[in-house]
Copies of this chain bind each other. A is one copy, B any other.
């Protein structure tokens, strides 16, 4: 199984975290977005959308980060995506919640506070404000859940937790303050100390020459 990614793509990160946490047998290939490698013939054969992340497993190729996360966990037979119908539905529910209601507004803030500077553009203040407002509306539910139980879906880590730790990756670089959410902060620090997280980041460090 091969995962195609770029170290600065946060959705791609979630697929690497999943492969590590599921104990999958995988290799990786960086796609050089700066040089447009995502539009190369070789990569378009893997993912015709020309985006990272993507996965190939023999002749089978696919794209989209949450879909790849589910595939990796199923293929590895991992408890990160339980097979019980109700337990699986709760993981699905929280993956959707995180992607729609946390990752999307974090991406808005990141775009307007960080990415526009590299693009030489101007921040869209209205979009930035909307992103911050969404987080203020949506993070209290995450905080409450992590007050009641150690992981988003109960007593065991799941793909939903990996989606959340990935969605929060840009918060420090773009000045999103998590201090109103102490249980979320503590949960995040614990995840960041685990090997699935540190292994992926040390790998990135080497690639980025750090």
Contacts and interface: CB of A to CB of B under 8 A. Distances in A.
A48 B124 contact: no
Interface in A115-130: 124, 126-127
Nearest to A125: B126
Nearest to A72: B89
Number of identical protomers? 2
A191 interface: no
A110 B100 CA distance: 17
A64 interface: yes
Contacts of A161: none
Interface in A59-97: 60, 62-68, 70-71, 74-75, 85-86, 88-90, 92-93, 95-97
Top 7 nearest A-B pairs (CB, nearest first) are A67-B92, A64-B96, A67-B93, A71-B89, A64-B93, A67-B96, A62-B93
Interface of A: 48-49, 60, 62-68, 70-71, 74-75, 85-86, 88-90, 92-93, 95-97, 99-100, 104, 124, 126-127, 141, 144
